[in-house]
Homo-oligomer: A and B are copies of this chain.
């Protein structure tokens, strides 16, 4: 079992490799992977050893730098492989494009410098999102939060996105953690992070969220995001949209936290965001155990779209958009 720092460092540059906590093995085992080329990094992203929109951006940026140090002609292939690893989070394509441009001017050294700059800016963004998000929650008197998937130090450099706001606020009465089927990032990762942070929490199945909200047990839903369209529609882990509907029905805030790197002005609305369809075996099993008759047909979208009208506030490192619409999103970037 590897030693582990607090806060967790999920991905780090080590000169000749990227070291990454293998998130598929948490919480049972704390194991670091050593990734030595772009293909290694892309494979780790595909199998969700590295996950979380901001974190896969940083990892992919270092992946390009790694590849260039091995093979000065490997730029295009590395960029292509890494960009194709997962389709929904825009941070991946954004980070790869930035490092690619830097490499064209400055070679391997330029690529590495750009990857480091991305990591530094995303880390600073995490701290700022934590502050803005905590302020928003404090201002609305939130004591009991519900969250989905994992948005902490395992999902982004620094303390994360939605979980950074929750951690920064401190003193919450309770955080309801949705287990987040099929890959259980809430059950496996968010509970593990909240326990390390000493924050009171209760694990629930995803389907229990709406009833708890209707039963006045939740003051706000706080989640991250994988891509935000120009009009404020939000792509996030599958299951998020139902929580947004429940929050609206229960008249509680539905708060989305993510860095500006997650905003994609090239997508006019959520309808133009590609939703990753993943392997059916993820649904035919849970934590490795079969759950359904072998060969059962499966539909397994990894994300869903929450319309901007259901998002009470979008918290970024540059401030908060509320209500969320095209102008407010543009204002954040301007």
Contacts and interface: CB of A to CB of B under 8 A. Distances in A.
A304 B242 contact: no
Interface string A211-225: 110100000000000
Interface size range of chain A in the complex: 35 or more
A201 B203 CA distance: 30
A293 B305 CA distance: 30
A291 B187 contact: yes
A173 to B, nearest CB: 13
A246 B241 CA distance: 9
Contact of A287 (B27, B180, B289, B299): B289
A299 B304 CA distance: 25
A182 B203 CA distance: 12
A304 B246 CA distance: 12
A202 B239 contact: no
A200 B210 CA distance: 29
A288 interface: yes
A208 B300 contact: yes
A117 interface: no
A317 B284 CA distance: 35
Contacts of A211: 238, 241, 275, 301, 303-305
A205 to B, nearest CB: 4
Most buried by B among A204, A237, A305: A204
Interface in A154-193: 176, 178-182, 184, 187-188, 191-192
A184 B246 contact: no
A26 to B, nearest CB: 9
Given A195-B293, A292-B191, A241 B210 contact: yes
Nearest to A235: B211
A333 interface: no
A269 to B, nearest CB: 12
A34 to B, nearest CB: 26
A298 interface: yes
Interface hub of A180, A181, A283, A291 (most chain B Cβ within 10 A): A291
A287 B182 CA distance: 13
B241 A188 contact: no
Contacts of A242: 207, 209-210, 242-243, 245-246
Interface in A231-286: 237-243, 245-246, 249, 275, 280, 283-286
B292 A188 contact: yes
B204 A300 contact: yes
Contacts of A304: 207-208, 210-211, 214
A45 B202 CA distance: 27
A195 B178 CA distance: 30
Given A187-B283, A208-B299, 6 more contacts: A28-B290, A203-B284, A203-B296, A207-B242, A211-B303, A242-B242
10 contacts: A191-B292, A191-B296, A195-B296, A203-B298, A207-B239, A210-B241, A211-B275, A285-B287, A287-B289, A287-B290
Interface of A: 27-28, 176, 178-182, 184, 187-188, 191-192, 195, 200-212, 214, 237-243, 245-246, 249, 275, 280, 283-293, 296-301, 303-305
